[in-house]
Structures are given as C-alpha cells and as structure tokens.
Amino acid sequence: MTKKRIAIDMDDVMAATGRKILKTYNHINSTAFTEQHFENKSYFEIFDEKNYHKIREEVFKPGFFRDVEVMADAIEVVKKLHEIYEVFIVSAATEFPNSLKDKMDWLEEHFPFISWRNVVLCGDKSIVAADYMIDDHEKNLKTFKGKTLMFSAIHNQMVNGYQRFKSWKEIEVFFDNE
C-alpha cells in the first residue's frame, strides 16, 4: 500500500524561527518586545521600518537559520510519523538563498532520518501536493488540496477555518486517530 504523504513546514513549525527573529531584533535594537506584542500581527506591523530592514539583513546572512531551536517534541513526533507516512519537509526558503544550506545542515543535525529526497525548498507552496500539510501560514494552507493542519503561532490567532494545533503532542494525537 502506498504511504500517505505529509508536507511539514520548517519555520515556526519544526523550528522556533520567530523566537530567534524576536531575540535578534531585541538584541540589535535594544528593545524588549515579547511574543505577546505579536498577537495577530506580523513582525512588519510591530518593528519600525528602519529597524525592520536591519532584521531582514540579519535573516539574509549565512548562518541565521543554522542554530534555530527545535520546537518541543518535534523530533520525536516527526520520527514517529516518518515510520508510518512519507514525510516531506517543505519550506518556502528560496527568498533567503543563504538559508538553503543552513536548513539542510539543520535538518541533518536534528532530523537525520529525513532523506534529502524528502526535502522541498521552494518559493511558493501552491505547487505542493500531498495528503496532509502542517503549516503556520494561511497563505500556504489555503491552496492545499489535502487535509490542512494549522500549527498555532502568535501571528495566526485570528485565522479561522483550519484545524488548529498548539503543539506537536496535539499533532501526534491527530495522526493516532487517522
């Protein structure tokens, strides 16, 4: 029997990238923003324009994505899913060319059981077809034809119409019942 396919996003799903952006922004601008400032808002709405450019420069630098923390329970649950499903890591990363190597190295370090064949680094996820998609952005989920799982993030609290998951443990329970 063919295994069903799951497309899993990296930033703010497998990797705590938002946390690093916030930390870096506060560090370079001597600010003290917390996650709560970003409830239902994008970074762009909070960071002032001048400083937003500074953080964008940081995100474009080689190494920015290399040391991002892994989300709690992601390794354990993705590993379990990988045993039952065909897991693909799908990241809209080509906007940040230096991130491509960082992301491959990061996956090799934390998710060595994921083959390079199962990594899709792209610019637009509407090209992606699979049975399930786990993502924090509505723009990626809304064009997806399979089942959508919205990974809850501070910036997507106002988005309705998707099954929402607050943790990898909740995702594990969902797939236990599939």
Binding of residue 102 to Mg ion (CB under 5 A)? no
Apex CA 19: angle with CA 16 and CA 86, to 5°?
A: 15
Q: Which is nearer to Mg ion, 118 or 156 (CB)?
A: 156
Q: Which is nearer to Mg ion, 29 or 98 (CB)?
A: 98
Site for Mg ion in 108-137 (CB under 5 A): 136
**Closest-approach residue to Mg ion (CB):** 11
Binding of residue 15 to Mg ion (CB under 5 A)? no
Nearest distance in Å: CB 140, Mg ion? 7
- How many chain residues touch Mg ion (CB under 5 A)? 4
The packing angle between helices 49-60 and 17-29, to 10°, is 120
Q: CB count, 10 Å around CB of 101?
A: 13
Question: What's the CA gap between 75 and 108, in Å, rounded?
Answer: 12
Q: Which is nearer to Mg ion, 48 or 157 (CB)?
A: 157
What counts of helices (H) and strands (E) characterise the chain?
7, 6
Q: Where are the alpha helices (DSSP H) in the chain?
A: 17-29, 43-46, 49-60, 74-84, 99-110, 138-141, 168-176
Q: Which of 6, 7, 8, 12 binds Mg ion (CB under 5 A)?
A: 12
Residue 25 one-letter amino acid: Y
Binding of residue 9 to Mg ion (CB under 5 A)? yes
Distance of CA 117 to the CA centre of its chain: 19
Nearest distance in Å: CB 147, Mg ion? 17
Active site residues per annotation: 9, 11
Q: Which is nearer to Mg ion, 29 or 121 (CB)?
A: 121
Footprint of Mg ion on this chain (CB under 5 A)? 9, 11-12, 136
